[in-house]
Structures are given as C-alpha cells and as structure tokens.
Amino acid sequence: MSAELDLSQYLDLFLQEAEEQLEILEQETLKLEREPTPERLQTIFRAAHTLKGSSRAMGFASFAGLTHEMENILDQLRSNQRPVSSEVTDLLLECVDGLGKIQASIAEGQGEVGDYSDLLSRLQFFLQAPVEAVGTPAPSSTETTFALSPELEDALQAAQAQQAVWVANVRLSPECVMKFVRAFMVLNAISTSGEVLATIPEQAQLEDEQFEQEFQVYFQTSASVEELQAQFSSFSEIESITLRPYLAATPAPPEDEQAAPPQEAKSGPAPSANAPGRRQDSGQTVRVDVARLDTLMNLVGELVIDRTRVAQIGHELHAKFSDPALDALEETVSHITRITSDLQDQIMKARMLPIETVFNRFPRVVRDLAQKLGKSVELELLGGETELDRSVIEVIGDPLLHILRNSVDHGLELPSEREAAGKPAQGKVRVSARHEENHIVIEIMDDGRGIHAERVKAKALAQGLVSPEAAERLTEKEILQFIFASGLSTASELSEISGRGVGMDIVRSNIQRLGGLIDLETSLGQWTKFTLRLPLTLAIIRGLLVDVSGVVYVLPLSSVVETFMVSTSKIQTVNRREVIVVRGLTTPILRLGSVFGSAVASAESSSLYVVIVGLAEKRIGLVVDRLIGEQEVVIKSLSTFCGDVAGVSGATILGDGHVALIADVSGLIESEAA
Amino acid sequence: MHESTSPSSSVPGTETQTVVFQLGSECYGVDIFRVSEIIQLRDITPVPRTQPYIRGLVNLRGKTIPVVDLRARFGLSSQDSEDTRIIVVDSEQGQVGMIVDAVREVITLSSQQIEDAPPLVTDMSTDFVRGVAKLDESLVTMLNLDRALAA
C-alpha cells in the first residue's frame, strides 16, 4: 500500500527524467550516426541505463524491457563487437520513439499503452545476428576489451568518488600453464597495498581458469603506479600488464589508447579528477515547477497594477494637499516602481528558455523526412541559445516544424534535379534565431527551387481567391502572400508530408495570434526564406491606450506605425469604404466606435485621431476619440465565458483598477480586408 | 477553480446552506459552496460583440472576471440600484460574477424542503431551475447554476 503511494509521488520525477533522457538519447543517436565516438556511445548507454533503472523501479515493464535491449545493443557497439550502422541507429531511434509513446501514455495517466513485442523481438534478433567483421584487428594483437555490466559500473563509479580506481589489463604468455596461479599472484600483489574491487572475468572464473590469456582487475591502491609496475615486472609468464586509470566515461578505450605503451599510466598522477566532469555543475540550478513560475508571473503582474494604482493615488493626493508625508510617499512609490520592474525582469528571465528546446526536434524530423523523400539534406541550426519566454516557446514549435517540412518537401529538389541545375546534390536548410530589439527573429531558409510567383497567381485565380483584374495589379510580393491563404498549395503532387493546402494559413494565424509576423521571400531556382518576427513574451506588452466612446482600449505598440489628427474633410469614400491618403498611400480607415458598437455615438468633430497600425505591409487607420498614453500592460486572457470576441485579443487591468480590452490588430486588419 | 464543484442535487436528509438573493420580486437560491464572494457593483468594462446578458469584465483583485446580468439572462429588464450586488460563483468556465438585485440571507435548507419545480411557477425557463424550496411564507427558486451560466 505505502509502496504505491511512494511511487506515485515519484511519478512526476520519473516522467521528467524520462523526457530529458529520451531527448539525450535521440540527439546523441542522431549525432552517433554521423560521427560515432566512444564518448557518445557512452553517453547514450548511460541514458539508456538510467532509464532502465528508473523505469524498473517504477514498475514499467515495457519501458524497462525496451531500454534493456537498447542497452544490450549499445553494449555490443561500445565493445566494438558491432559497427555503428544506419541499421542500428534506425533501431535505436525506433526504440526512442516507442519509449516516447510509452512515456506519453504514462503521463496521460493511462499507464503503459502499446504492444512492443515486435520491436523487442527484432531487437533480440538483431543482437544475435552474426556480426560482419568489425574494423578492429584480431584479438591476438591487441588487448581484449571487456564490457562492464552496468551494475558493476555503478559500483566502480561509487568507489571512484572515494579514491581513484585503476584498471590493470593482464596478459599472460601463451605458454603459461597455471593461469590461475599467475592471476592470483597479480591479485595478491595488488591487495598488499590496496583493494581489488572487481575482476573480469569474475574471480570464480579466474580460479577455474575460464579465460583465454587476458583478464582485467579493477582496484584502488595507495601505492604509486611505479611501485606496482616494478612489482609486476618481477612476475614470470606474464606477457604484459597495462595500467590505466578507470574512466567512467570511456570504459572501452579508443584504439589509439590501446596501442599506447604501458608507461602511459605514469604520465597522469591523478587523472581520475577529470573523469566525472559532468557532475560538476549539479547544485547550481534548482528545478522549479513551471506552474509556480506562472503564478509568480501573475503575482508580479498584480504588483505592477497596484504599483501604478498607488502612484496614481499619490498624484491625486498631491494635487489636493501639500504635506511632507506625501513627498515621502512619492519617493517610496518610485522606489517600489524600480523594484517591481527589476522583479518583473528577473522573473521574465527565469521563464526564458533557449529556443534550442524547439530546435532539438528538428534534426530527427529532417532526417526521417529526407530519408523518406530520397533527398539529401544538411540542416544548419543557428542561434539555438537565443532565449525567449516559455509561453512563446510552447506555441511556436508546430508552426516552425510545418515550415521546415515544407522547405524539405517542396523547397528542396531531388538530388538529380539539383545536379542538373548545377547545384550540390545535398540541399541545405538553415534555421536561425536572433534577437532584434524586443523581438526574436527566426529565419528558415532553403537553397531549393524557390517559389514560382506566376504559378501561385494561377492557383489563386483558379481557386477564385482573387479576381483576374485585381491579380494583374498585384506585385510579386503580394502574390506570394497567397501562400498563406487557405486551400492553396503549389505542390503538383500531394504527399503525406505537406501539400494539402492546409497548413500555411494555420501557421500564419497561429503566429499572428502571438502578435507575430511572418513574411516570405524567394528567388526562383535559388532559395526561399521565411522570416518570423515574434514578441519575446506574451505576458506583458507595451500598449497605446486610446479612448473609444468613453471606453479605454489598448493597442499593442508593436503594431502601431504612427498617430496623427486628420480633418474629417480629408476622409474619402472608395467602394463605400472610408479611406484617407497617408503620404500618397490610400489607407482604409476603421472607426473603432462603430466596430465595437458602442452605444454612444462619438461626438462629431471636425478632426479625428487616427492610429495607423500595420501588419506585414498592410496598413489601416483606426479612428479613436482620444489618445491617452503609453503603458506597459499585463495581458489577461478573456474568459472563455465571453467566447471569441472579434477584434479583441485579451484584457488587462489599468493603473486605476479598471479593466481595459486589448484590440486584436491583426483581426481588425483582416476584417477590414474581408 | 475548475474542479467540478459541489453536487447540484442534494442527498436525501442532508442540509445545504443556500445564499438567497432577489431578482425582481422573487427569491432565488444558490448553493453556498459555489459562491466564492459577494461584491458591490463596480465599474464594468463592456465587451463588444458578446451576448447581451454579458455585462463585461470587472477587476477582482487583479483578475478579470466576466459578469452576467442575471435579470437580462432571464429575460427581465435590468436596473441597478443601491442594493445591487455581484455574486462571484465558480462555474465550469472559471469564476463568473452574477448581477442580482439584492442579496438577502444565508439559510439552511434540508433536502426535504426542496421540491421539483412545478412548470410555470417562475418567470424563467425551467431549464435554469433545480427545484423550489418552501419556506414559512415564501418560495425560494433553487438555481441550476451550470445551466443558468451556460452560453
């Protein structure tokens, strides 16, 4: 009973750990495919091992079963019994996928869902399949490598923490008759000055002489390496004894190390110090529940509101009374103001995540997609360290992934086409992120075939998205915008990856909902580049406060282009729509009062306040009654109770405690165009 | 906030505390467990293009919560007065404020006192009614909050 309670308490921890370790597994396996190194293998092995241990402890049998087989395969790889091939990495990635699914089903509270017996049997089959000759030379010329069981490795690492652990590779001469006696002498010699932790094969097997010519001893000693070497050299019938420090990270020494002379051990007096380096940074960070950070952010939001309120009360009092206490109050308020904005900054920073967390999904997707499409793709990820708010990170993954898929599927040509066009057979997609003022700019660029504007136009005409007359007047840039229209796909063939004409419109609306912009440039036959401009956070924005028939609305400052007064006589009507001419550009205007259907008709005056707002290259003018000022506002979502309100994206609380609505500029622009 | 709030039908023999409020000349009741607080009428920011019975949003200690005019919801003409209050309740869609003409008292009702609503006993659609409680001199219409607040 109590055991069950305990487990549920650890479930979150397990899930978190599983997520992290699975990510390591995937990332490192992908790298392993391109560049196999013993360190990488070890990292992967450790991740699989950690997962096996924790899933067993939690009683997740399928999870543990899969990781166990992964471990076995990895073991074969790192002991050089098997080369790293794409067959192996495919299998490993399939395991990672399976584990991911199990993890997800556990997280959803459904326990372990799915049948992995097929994968398991393929893994086991693979393990027993005969290995073609591995690149390493025959065992007679080098020392045999010994695989450590994970349990033993744990024990050794624990011992390592106390005192350096050494490994002796002992090779008896072929003519040695009493192998155990020689082995015993070696063990004895070590025991006089230290302690034997383990031998491979185990001591019982050594006694039964169940080994060829070599065995390994793991030990701790107080004697110096020189003393031991001297002692060993007096033994007869021993061909060689190689001493090296035990390194947790590389138990299977790379080939060049194997070839190194025995004296190599002398060079490093305490080399174990750099072995467990990955543990050094623990203790510097604390894991915090995301919900707690969100609460903290909300609290600061309320503090910001109250601060503004207190400042305002102070001003009001000051206007009525003159008292030294009021001066003190003002000072205090300005101090609180500084502190709250610092606090706000710090919490915002705490919520920041590097965009890497999104990018990390990309290599796998591109790899699988390229494989499926028969394309060769180099993916370059730049600026992964660029940080932005968690709220943005959460929602941009899918849109980015969609664009990336499009680039690989539609943008890049097949290798043969590329060569025919005089390009390198391998296509390139570059995803980069960088900060620009208060925004993050993400670019996705491929060196593929580009987008044929004429073809987009033809499609748009065919689907009635634009009239033939209007189409004639469109610039190329405007035509390309149809890519984001729903139902339009220029891919001549549909694939399961993309090309159904759904997607880019959703991508754009998702990005606009974030208060972001998406744009696209292309050069036919050369490249296509999508540029996304996103706010760093969704929690706080700078807004322009305007008065519309006595109600305050907030316009996000990021979309405000300019404000001015215009005489009513300057308003013209085109197609029954009101427009004004701003520096030669005919700009439609929207009277916010009538958009928001306020009961009070705004007093008709000879001039009007116009706020020009922009989205990409579209501009419209919003007519308001009065400009109130700029203010930083904390965004609150509209209650679901109100439903989706056209033209309103959220609400906020102003310094005077009133609720104000935040206008949805992209929605307004679109409604005007419709 | 979103945990399915207390059962709307009472178990026989149990007693429930009920907040009694007034709309027009009639008394209504809601389970006290659904009520988080009762506040004075305050400035309400209208939200355009919503249902007419949604008055708008108010600031409840840094939170913005929607406010429903119950009179308008039940098809009565609304009129604010000195006694008008906002009862903040927990609904399936988070906290919602209900504008009522006055808050009377909190009474304890045993489940035997609550009867099924006879059709036509009240002005409003019986959909919103969970039952009618008979007191010594008056009737209290027990609201089915989730229906009354459903869009």
Q: What single-letter amino acid sits at A472? A: E
More confident residue, A124 or A378: A378
The pLDDT assigned to A147 comes to 67
Domain spans in chain B, listed from the N-terminal domain onward:
17-149
The pLDDT assigned to A50 comes to 84
Mean pLDDT across A55-63? 84
Mean pLDDT across A121-148? 61
Question: pLDDT (tens digit, 9 = 90+) per residue, B72-81?
Answer: 888 877 778 8
Question: pLDDT (tens digit, 9 = 90+) per residue, A310-320?
Answer: 888 888 888 88
Cβ–Cβ of B64/A639 closer than 8 Å? Answer: yes
Q: How far is CA A422 from the centre of its chain?
A: 35
Element (H, E) at A595: helix A592-595
User: What CATH topology corresponds to B17-149?
Assistant: OB fold (Dihydrolipoamide Acetyltransferase, E2P) (2.40.50)
Which residues, in sequence order, are bridge partners of residue B143?
A: B129
Query: Distance from A613 to chain B by nearest Cα, in Å?
Result: 20
Query: Distance from B55 to chain A by nearest Cα, in Å?
Result: 10
Residue-wise over A92-125: b if at least 16 C-beta within 10 A, else e? bbebbebbbebbeebeeeeebeeebeebbeebee
Of B47, B49, B62, the CB nearest to A305: B62
Q: Is the pLDDT of residue A664 over 80?
A: yes
Q: d(Cα A340, Cα A320) in Å, to the nearest integer?
A: 27
Cβ–Cβ of B62/A306 closer than 8 Å? Answer: yes
A640 to chain B: which residues are within 8 Å by CB?
93-94
Of B46, B58, B66, the CB nearest to A641: B66
Could you tell me the pLDDT band of residue A303, with boundaries at 50, 70 and 90?
confident
The pLDDT assigned to A257 comes to 40
| Three-class secondary structure of residue A206 per DSSP | helix
The pLDDT assigned to B97 comes to 95
User: Domains along chain A?
Assistant: 2-128 (1.20.120.160), 150-267 (3.30.70.1110), 290-351 (1.10.287.560), 373-535 (3.30.565.10), 540-673 (2.40.50.180)
| Exposure of A545 in the CB half-sphere (CA atoms within 13 A) | 18
Cβ–Cβ of B62/A596 closer than 8 Å? Answer: no
Could you tell me the pLDDT band of residue A598, with boundaries at 50, 70 and 90?
low
Mean pLDDT across A549-566? 89
B91 to chain A: which residues are within 8 Å by CB?
641
A47: left (phi over 0), alpha (psi -120 to 50) or beta: alpha
| The two structure tokens encoding residue A562 | 């300019």
Highest mean pLDDT among A213-227, A351-365, A489-503: A351-365
Q: Which of residues 272-311 of A touch B (CB under 8 A)?
A: 298, 301-302, 305-306
Mean pLDDT across A79-84? 82
The pLDDT assigned to A387 comes to 86
B56 to chain A: which residues are within 8 Å by CB?
659
Q: Mind telling me the catalytic residues of A? A: 49, 71, 406
User: How far apart, in Å, are the Cα atoms of A27 and each of A85, A104, A134, A603, B54?
Assistant: 16, 18, 25, 63, 51
The pLDDT assigned to A253 comes to 41
The pLDDT assigned to A283 comes to 53
The pLDDT assigned to B126 comes to 64
Cβ–Cβ of B45/A551 closer than 8 Å? Answer: yes
B55 to chain A: which residues are within 8 Å by CB?
none
Cβ–Cβ of B151/A645 closer than 8 Å? Answer: no
Mean pLDDT across B92-96? 87
Q: Which of residues 51-70 of A touch B (CB under 8 A)?
A: none
B49 to chain A: which residues are within 8 Å by CB?
596-597, 645-648
Cβ-Cβ contacts under 8 Å between A and B: the total is: 80
Locate the chain A residue with the closest alpha carbon to B95: A639
Residue-wise over A401-437: b if at least 16 C-beta within 10 A, else e? bbbbbbbbbbbbbebeebeeeebeeebbbbbbbeeee
Show Cβ contacts of residue A111 under 8 Å, excluding neighbours closer than 6 positions: A105
User: How far apart, in Å, are the Cα atoms of A653 and each of A298, A554, B70?
Assistant: 12, 10, 24
Could you tell me the pLDDT band of residue A497, with boundaries at 50, 70 and 90?
very low
Of A551, A642, A658, the CB nearest to B54: A642
The pLDDT assigned to A279 comes to 41
The pLDDT assigned to A398 comes to 84
